[in-house]
């Protein structure tokens, strides 16, 4: 090991920050040996300096973020949220510091600004912990697969929603029951909208797509739909048809009018039970990459939690400290491809519709005619038995592949039909 010392400033000492500080203290000799430099925690920025934080010397605590940054060689940002995290990271990079972050919201919104600052000031930006916790998919895309071509990224990247859907499937719970249990166990926040409405997954989708396709992708580019409308009936029908419901983040290369583009989306999806992602249960994450040369690769593991996320943070700390001690920097942002983002309306997909219709002659034919008028073929129709004399029936309609534009036109027609009482659910079907 060199005689170089790398001073580390920690911004935020919540669940992950405390674990980073603990592991850095307990495993310091080994981590320092791997980095080739002595790793020293030089300061910890927190909102409340009076709060006891086990394992952190109170003398290191301060509310002065700038002081922590200025006194460090490497800055770990674990505050979360857009501000003051963005400003803090920019300050560190503009002063030539190495920055390690797990902040997917900032990266998906202000990634280009941070990368430009890193390039301009010969600084380094690491963010393995921003996607899928301990799962090393960022490193895989950034470095291990730099010699390959990624055709599709498909993943379960939010453990909260995966736990909720899993409990609805295995326990027969409603969405509300599963969410309450997730909150009780600490898998879901008291205010869970970022997870259950798909925003967290969308931020991660943007980061993965940026890395996979060498193109700047923002969270605003990702069409997003959450799981709040998923019902036990959707889960039961999926199981009967050989599927499970998963919230998937998807980014793939597509050809639109002869031009290569990127299609993006986060939404509840029917996944065949034979698919590798179908068996990912509980609060775990998994990402499947379809590559040109290596074929199909799958990354799987704990996507959240203090210790797993700290593992990813510290892998970046070791890499960053090694570069500080011995020269080098993190991989630079790669945007050479600059592929256009596909119009969501032109993206091809399959849908399963659950419709509540009048129990009278003509209802099914009207639904099928709406599909025919848009040039969309129907793959299957199923109507569960209804009691004699009932005035309403349920129809499950699965389509073949068609553009979102065509499928949305069908839904618009059905929404106005007097024979269709309600469009109860609309789920994509993984091809």
Please state the three-class secondary structure of 355-387 as a single string: EEEECCCCHHHHHHHHHHHCCCCEEEEECCCCC
Query: Which residues are known binding-site members?
Result: 104, 189
User: Measuring CA to CA, which residue among 16, 43, 36 is closest to residue 303?
Assistant: 16
Task: Give the list of residues 6+ apart from residue 171 with CB closer than 8 angstroms, or none.
Answer: 178
219 contacts 181 by C-beta, under 8 angstroms: no
User: Measuring CA to CA, which residue among 210, 11, 249 is closest to residue 107?
Assistant: 210
Q: Which residues on neighbouring strands pair with residue 420, listed in sequence order?
A: 357
Distances (CA, A) of 93 to 76, 78, 229: 12, 16, 42
Alpha carbon distance 280, 290 (integer Å): 18
Distances (CA, A) of 217 to 39, 55, 264, 336: 34, 39, 10, 13
Please state the three-class secondary structure of 121-175 as a single string: CCCEEECHHHCCCCCCHHHHHHHHCCCCCEEEEEEECCHHHHHHHHHHHHHCCCH
Is the preceding peptide bond at 84 cis, omega within 30 degrees of 0? yes
Q: Is 51 a catalytic residue?
A: no
For residue 26 the two structure tokens come to 């307990």
For residue 22 the two structure tokens come to 């603990």
Q: Count CB atoms within 10 A of the CB of residue 10.
A: 29
Length of the chain: 431
Which secondary structure element, helix H or strand E, spans residue 31, and what is its range?
Answer: helix 28-35
Task: Give me the residue label for tokens 């889960």.
Answer: 235
Phi first, then psi: give them for residue 69, nearest 5 degrees. Answer: -65, -45
Q: Which among 38, 204, 225, 246 is annotated as catalytic?
A: 204
417 secondary structure, DSSP code: -
SS3 399: strand
Query: Which residues are known binding-site members for NADPH?
Result: 104
Task: Give me the residue label for tokens 């300096």.
Answer: 49
Query: Which residues are known binding-site members for L-homoserine?
Result: 189
Mind telling me the catalytic residues?
A: 204
């Amino acid at each position: 090991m060199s005689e170089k010392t790398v001073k580390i400033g920690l911004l935020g000492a919540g669940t992950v920050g405390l674990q980073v500080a603990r592991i850095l203290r307990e495993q310091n000799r080994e981590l320092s040996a791997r980095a080739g430099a002595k790793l020293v925690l030089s300061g910890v920025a927190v909102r409340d300096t009076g709060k006891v934080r086990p394992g952190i010397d109170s003398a290191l605590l301060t509310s002065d973020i700038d002081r922590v940054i200025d006194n460090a060689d490497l800055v770990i940002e674990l505050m979360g949220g857009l501000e003051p995290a963005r400003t803090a990271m920019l300050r560190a990079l503009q002063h030539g510091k190495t920055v390690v972050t797990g902040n997917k919201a900032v990266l998906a919104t202000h990634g280009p600004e941070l990368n430009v600052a890193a390039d301009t000031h010969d600084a380094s930006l690491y963010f393995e912990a921003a996607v899928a916790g301990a799962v090393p998919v960022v490193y895989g895309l950034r470095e291990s697969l730099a010699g390959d071509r990624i055709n599709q990224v498909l993943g379960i990247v939010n453990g909260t929603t995966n736990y909720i859907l899993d409990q609805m499937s295995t326990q027969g719970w409603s969405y509300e029951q599963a969410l309450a249990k997730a909150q009780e166990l600490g898998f879901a926040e008291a205010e869970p909208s970022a997870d259950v409405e798909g925003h967290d997954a969308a931020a991660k989708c943007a980061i993965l797509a940026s890395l996979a396709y060498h193109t700047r992708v923002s969270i605003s580019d990702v069409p997003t739909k959450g799981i709040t409308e998923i019902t036990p009936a959707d889960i039961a029908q999926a199981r009967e048809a050989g599927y499970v419901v998963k919230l998937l983040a998807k980014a793939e290369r597509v050809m639109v009018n002869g031009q290569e583009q990127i299609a993006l989306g986060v939404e509840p999806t029917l996944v065949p039970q034979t698919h590798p992602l179908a068996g990912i249960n509980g609060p775990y994450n998994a990402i499947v990459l379809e590559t040109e040369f290596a074929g199909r690769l799958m990354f799987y593991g704990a996507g959240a939690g203090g210790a797993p996320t700290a593992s990813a943070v510290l892998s970046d700390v070791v890499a960053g400290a090694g570069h500080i001690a011995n020269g080098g920097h993190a991989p630079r942002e790669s945007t050479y491809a600059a592929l256009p983002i596909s119009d969501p309306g032109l993206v091809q997909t399959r849908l399963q519709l659950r419709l509540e219709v009048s129990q009278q002659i003509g209802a099914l034919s009207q639904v099928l005619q709406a599909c025919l008028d848009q040039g969309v073929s129907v793959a299957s129709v199923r109507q569960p038995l209804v009691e004699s004399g009932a005035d309403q029936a349920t129809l499950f309609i699965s389509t073949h592949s068609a553009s979102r534009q065509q499928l949305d036109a069908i839904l618009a027609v059905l929404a106005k039909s007097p024979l269709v009482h309600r469009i109860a659910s609309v789920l994509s079907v993984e091809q």
